Structure 1
Amino acid sequence: MSRRLAAAALALAALVPCAAWSADWPMFGGDASNRHHADLAQIDRGNVARLRPAWIFQTGITGYFQAEPVIVEGVMYVSATGNHVAALDAKTGRVIWTYTHRVRTEKIFGPPSNRGVAVSDGLVYEATMDGRVIALDAKTGRLVWDREAVRPEEGETETASVLAAQLGDKPVQGSSRLGFKMPPLVAEGLVIVGVTGAGYGLHVEDAGGGLDGGSVVGIEGGYGRRGWLAAYDARTGEERWRWYVTKADGWEGDYRTTTPDGVPLHRDIAAEKAAAPQYAEAWRVGGGSLWMTPAFDPDLGLIYLGTGNPAPQNFGLTRPGDNLYTMSLVALDVRTGALRWHFQQVPHEEWGYDVASPPFLLDHATAEGPVKAVAQASKTGWIYVHDRATGRLLARSEPVIAHKNLYAPPTPEGTVVSPGPLGAISWHPVAYDPVAARAFAQVRHGAATYTVKTVPAASGRPEIRYTETSEARGEPAFSTLTAVDLGAGGRIAWSVKAGSRLSGGTLSTSGGLVFSGEEDGHLDAHDARDGRILWRFQCGAGISGPPVTYTVDGRQYVAVAAGGSSFTKASGFGTGDALVVFALPE
């Protein structure tokens, strides 16, 4: 990122003298609870229609701008596409410093996106697409330490290369390369991050649209990496502990016929057990990506995180068993990484239902009184609520989507299943208002077709079987912003259909508002009581990051990244490079 990056101030003036007070957004999610809720009410239902841009920062790098800004003591820290970082005056947008990231390999997982930084004790931490964890001086942007955690290109397979060649001239990316997407969590003097790409198949791009502009391919046998979460010393960068998602001893689990909450899985258990001796080492390449920042309970000393799909993606016979601890909500000891409990939402998963949206903490009302709880909004269409200490399932919300053939396995003829791998609720954060006990989720309604295909044996190479996942044509596809009353049995309070696909996540405030972004470029403010849109603004590019709010000198601001994505390009919406910051007129 060059010094030519500009911050354009759009009509800022001196504040009318008043008591100076500020409220930061000091970490991902606002605080360690991951609630994406702010107890700020200067912008409210009555005046939000007057909201206007206060300033704009342009990164100079178009597309895949998914970062959630962090604001500490009036300074905003934001990471751009390619892991470049800028520190800005949160009141005016003035550039304080920029950091230019120089990658060590072009072989990364997926597009060059990341979802934000962490700030603590004078340092800015970032986990990068090329497998590094770095610390910058918060005042100057100077690199303090740089830890190579993984080389993304390690572990690529010949099978993937052969299959990519069979797919013709379509652009292919993936190859189970490990890297980082999540904003780090800083807790107990540790910087905690997890890798993505571990269980990912090939992503085949297609200008015609579909699943983020193409299809996903999962390859039979020996394809994938072992996912992990690690903690690094915040001062030195030395690794302190590492937890692997795939269980080395007993990853087959119990061969469950239903999910833990009782939904049938339609598994061929006999076939899996017959294949088990042949695939006893499947855990070594068993997948389990980690997509988003854990929540943290300092009293219990536990972090809560979701794990991704097993590998090979969408192809279960070569990984018999439940594939522990993929597809799980997991509690780990923050100081040691030791597993305390897990809840596997989908044993032996074959549909891409990663536990991706960040968990959030709440006090959950029960007949016996309030319980310290952790909730997770799933791709399968339910919000699960668990006892924070034990993992016991306390509640499951009403479904936020209509299911179709849920957990039906892929077939050569093609199986249509709803939801598809994009959700119900994907990686996007869910806002939770603790006073109303209400969660606000961006929900994607749609189906996918899962088809088992074969590449014939040739030139001494064995036959290759794979599963291709593509958008199900003719099935309804739309987004809703949906409010779920977790204090009232998990019932749906309201659900409003969006004009385009929703993305980036939600933000709720004590002003009775819910902010939500659309991939056509609109940032919308909804009434938290009934979902009515009270204000919207066209940001010029698809909203792809979570909105945040903060105050400086008594004035409340709302900030959001507008960078678009591969989907916005495929469907005709623009990409961009802008961080847009709003406030009420002075």
Structure 2
Amino acid sequence: MSHRSTLLALVLALTCGVSAARAEDWPAFGGDHSNRHASSLDAINRDNVSRLRPAWIFQTGQTGYFQAEPVVIDGRMYVSTTHNHVAALDAKTGAVIWTYTHKARTEKIFGPPSNRGVAVSGGLVYEATMDGRVIALDAKTGRLVWDIEAVRPEEGETETAIALAAGLGDKPVQGSSRLGFKMPPLVADGLVIVGVTGAGYGLHVEDAKGGLDGGSVVGIEGGYGRRGWLAAYDARTGEERWRWYVTKQDGWEGDFVEKTDDGLPLHRDIAAEKAAAEKNRDAWKVGGGSLWMTPAYDPDLGLIYLGTGNPAPQNFGLTRPGDNLYTMSLVALDVKTGALRWHFQQVPHETWGYDVASPPFLLDWPGDKGPVKAVAEASKLGWIYVHDRKDGRLLGKSAPLITQKNLFQPPSPEGTVVSPGPLGAVSWHPVSFDARTGLAFAQVRHGAATYTVKTVSGGQGKPDIRYTETSEARGEPAHSTLTAVDLSKGGTIAWSIKAGSRLSGGTLATAGGIVFSGEEDGHLDAHDTRDGKLLWRFQCGAGIGGPPVTYAIDGRQYVAVAAGGSSFTKASGFGTGDALVVFALADQ
């Protein structure tokens, strides 16, 4: 690695407000607390990436839904697998150092048994599990140090939606508001910080292939959901230090706004919502708001930044009148106490599935009087929003990443086609940001959904059942692009390249002029950051499920990625797998 790269890594670390880590490591989710998913390593570059070959492969033995981002510290790699197992590997050879086998306490979990990564700090490996636990393992041996049951997934689960689903006929229905964890923990200020998923999850009607892609999301009126939360645990003992709830007990209805904070009309029936307010004043108790991905952290300000998910009931809003604070928001919390500092609600009273899911990342925004410390988030709506880190003020947003259609038009009995659909533009997949060039690289999904309000008889004198069915809009564009956004020039689109299959897992940018990006058909691709030109690709044998990372040992640079697929790759006809594939230049 060059002297310039080492110096650049130090400068980037200092400007992010985090302690400088070795450039050779990948010590945390996102690379560091800035969540940039970028590296100063440049031994693999646009001139030699064509010589990239597998260096070693680790097969987890747990097929499917392998979405984890590995962590690499001092030559050792730590990775979680499907079903929350953990392995420590020699990052140079792939040799297994130890494994931890997780024994779930319940089978009633939210969604597929995927996990998106661990955190490592102070000699401990931290994982938040799908069965509602936060655990710490000894980094040297894998021994369980502490194990905290944060939530029972089925505890407090409402049976309302399950009972109502019986009125939907003989279509296979799955889904439940069960709480668990997917995100890699954030370790900051002596705390392990994690948030629950499943709070606003809707029922899904399966399609003919047994998957959800092309099937339907069902938002049923009233009484369905859980209250989302983020909590901090003492990194040494596991004792809970604070908990912040997404849904606001006092005033969750907000101001009944008619437009978003950036001026877009929401097409709400405010009069109907206000008329329903008294009857539904306790809706916040089951109000949803999942936390999908790891927060970014600015230690100088003592703030963490996180995105929140959709309110519940999903896709049907009359029984939760109001703005539904603080769902669908980018939020800043005090790291020591969990107190809310500011929030920006992208979609008040949301009914389309536009979770603020992609992890926020830190950057310097070009202001009139010089750079402004900012936080950005790539949204499902199709923009990258940029905010002042201190107060949340909207500094700007990018040009649209997709063609939007009927944005915020409400579901209707005849069916309303809206673009984007609930999978995004940009879903949970991390966006990489290269501070040297000001370019952000996003995996963008282009597609529309049809939102249809339906009514079925409750039978035997019971009230009718109303629900919103969300399905793929046929005849609309459906593809992915790898898109570069120039945040040094106000968010213009630098280039956009259409992918052969749907993109997944997230992106990785390196100082070698490369952006790595995975596809659901199993390809890991390397593109030139200047113009998006495809320079190299490799078939990993299963859909790319997790974000790629890079690290170096003894002067040799590696790139690692999880190839395990997901429920969507299965529905799309691509296989699932269990391989962590690690690459290096063939002639080194």
TM-score bracket, shorter-length normalisation:
over 0.9
Structure 1 position 207, deviation (Å):
3.2
Percent pairwise identity: 83
2:538 maps to 1:516? no
Structure 1 position 582, deviation (Å):
0.1
Q: Distance in 2 between matches of 1:172 and 1:103?
A: 24
TM-score, normalization: structure 1?
0.95
Check conservation: 1:59, 1:578, Cα contact below 8 A.
Answer: yes
Q: 1:80 to 1:210 in 2, by over 3 A?
A: closer
Opposite residue 390 of structure 2, the aligned amino acid is A
Opposite residue 52 of structure 2, the aligned amino acid is L
Stretches of structure 2 lacking an aligned partner (at least 5 in a row): 1-21
Structure 1 position 417, deviation (Å):
0.4
Opposite residue 509 of structure 1, the aligned amino acid is T
Q: What does residue 205 of structure 2 align with?
A: 204
Check conservation: 1:211, 1:422, Cα contact below 8 A.
Answer: no
Q: What pairs with 1:33-48 in structure 2 (closer than 5 Å)? A: 33-48=34-49
Q: What does residue 482 of structure 1 align with?
A: 483
Q: What does residue 105 of structure 1 align with?
A: 106
Q: Distance in 1 between matches of 2:173 and 2:212?
A: 14
Q: Distance in 2 between matches of 1:39 and 1:342?
A: 32
Q: What does residue 122 of structure 1 align with?
A: 123
Check conservation: 2:211, 2:570, Cα contact below 8 A.
Answer: no
Q: What pairs with 1:176-255 in structure 2 (closer than 5 Å)? A: 176-208=177-209, 211-212=212-213, 214-255=215-256
Check conservation: 2:267, 2:409, Cα contact below 8 A.
Answer: yes
2:66 maps to 1:65? yes
Q: Distance in 1 between matches of 2:157 and 2:165?
A: 12
Check conservation: 1:151, 1:178, Cα contact below 8 A.
Answer: yes
> How many aligned positions are there?
566
Opposite residue 357 of structure 1, the aligned amino acid is S
Q: What does residue 51 of structure 1 align with?
A: 52
Q: Summarize deviations over 1:157-179 as a string: whole Å, max 9, x none.
A: 23222233334555433211100
Opposite residue 472 of structure 1, the aligned amino acid is A
Q: Summarize deviations over 1:331-377 as a string: whole Å, max 9, x none.
A: 00000000000000000000000000000000111111100000000
Check conservation: 1:209, 1:571, Cα contact below 8 A.
Answer: no
Q: Distance in 2 between matches of 1:527 and 1:445?
A: 22
2:397 maps to 1:435? no
Opposite residue 120 of structure 1, the aligned amino acid is S
Check conservation: 2:23, 2:39, Cα contact below 8 A.
Answer: no
Check conservation: 2:168, 2:456, Cα contact below 8 A.
Answer: no
Q: What pairs with 1:250-261 in structure 2 (closer than 5 Å)? A: 250-261=251-262
Opposite residue 215 of structure 2, the aligned amino acid is G
Q: What does residue 402 of structure 1 align with?
A: 403
Check conservation: 2:543, 2:563, Cα contact below 8 A.
Answer: yes
Moved more, 302-311 or 147-156: 147-156
Q: What does residue 321 of structure 2 align with?
A: 320
Structure 1 position 460, deviation (Å):
4.8
2:571 maps to 1:566? no
Q: What does residue 308 of structure 1 align with?
A: 309
Q: Distance in 2 between matches of 1:391 and 1:217?
A: 33
Q: Distance in 1 between matches of 2:175 and 2:230?
A: 20
Q: What does residue 141 of structure 2 align with?
A: 140
Q: Distance in 2 between matches of 1:460 and 1:281?
A: 26
Check conservation: 2:517, 2:548, Cα contact below 8 A.
Answer: yes
Describe the SS at the equivalent of 1:569.
helix
Describe the SS at the equivalent of 1:229.
strand
Q: Distance in 2 between matches of 1:512 and 1:409?
A: 43
TM-score, normalization: structure 2?
0.95
Check conservation: 1:381, 1:424, Cα contact below 8 A.
Answer: yes
Stretches of structure 1 lacking an aligned partner (at least 5 in a row): 1-20
2:540 maps to 1:539? yes
Check conservation: 2:167, 2:465, Cα contact below 8 A.
Answer: no
Q: Distance in 2 between matches of 1:430 and 1:200?
A: 24
Structure 1 position 275, deviation (Å):
0.8
Check conservation: 2:30, 2:36, Cα contact below 8 A.
Answer: yes
Check conservation: 2:505, 2:545, Cα contact below 8 A.
Answer: yes
Q: Summarize deviations over 1:288-314 as a string: whole Å, max 9, x none.
A: 000000000000000000000000111
Q: Summarize deviations over 1:89-115 as a string: whole Å, max 9, x none.
A: 000000000000001111100000010
Structure 1 position 456, deviation (Å):
1.1
Q: 1:167 to 1:509 in 2, by over 3 A?
A: same
Q: Distance in 2 between matches of 1:446 and 1:215?
A: 15
Q: What pairs with 1:492-511 in structure 2 (closer than 5 Å)? A: 492-511=493-512
Structure 1 position 392, deviation (Å):
0.4
Structure 1 position 453, deviation (Å):
1.4
Q: What pairs with 1:152-163 in structure 2 (closer than 5 Å)? A: 152-163=153-164
Opposite residue 191 of structure 2, the aligned amino acid is L
Check conservation: 2:456, 2:465, Cα contact below 8 A.
Answer: yes
Q: What does residue 9 of structure 1 align with?
A: none
Check conservation: 2:406, 2:419, Cα contact below 8 A.
Answer: yes
Q: Distance in 2 between matches of 1:457 and 1:172?
A: 17
Structure 1 position 155, deviation (Å):
2.6
Q: Distance in 2 between matches of 1:171 and 1:74?
A: 47
Q: Distance in 2 between matches of 1:490 and 1:22?
A: 28
Describe the SS at the equivalent of 1:35.
coil
Structure 1 position 412, deviation (Å):
1.3
Describe the SS at the equivalent of 1:86.
strand
Moved more, 571-580 or 287-296: 571-580
Q: Summarize deviations over 1:195-235 as a string: whole Å, max 9, x none.
A: 00001111222234885352211111110000000000111
2:346 maps to 1:379? no
Check conservation: 2:212, 2:571, Cα contact below 8 A.
Answer: no
Q: Distance in 2 between matches of 1:368 and 1:208?
A: 56
Opposite residue 377 of structure 1, the aligned amino acid is A
Q: What does residue 291 of structure 2 align with?
A: 290
Check conservation: 2:485, 2:492, Cα contact below 8 A.
Answer: yes
Q: Distance in 2 between matches of 1:29 and 1:46?
A: 25
Describe the SS at the equivalent of 1:279.
coil
Q: What does residue 264 of structure 2 align with?
A: 263
Q: What does residue 11 of structure 1 align with?
A: none
Opposite residue 125 of structure 1, the aligned amino acid is Y
Structure 1 position 572, deviation (Å):
1.5
Describe the SS at the equivalent of 1:469.
strand
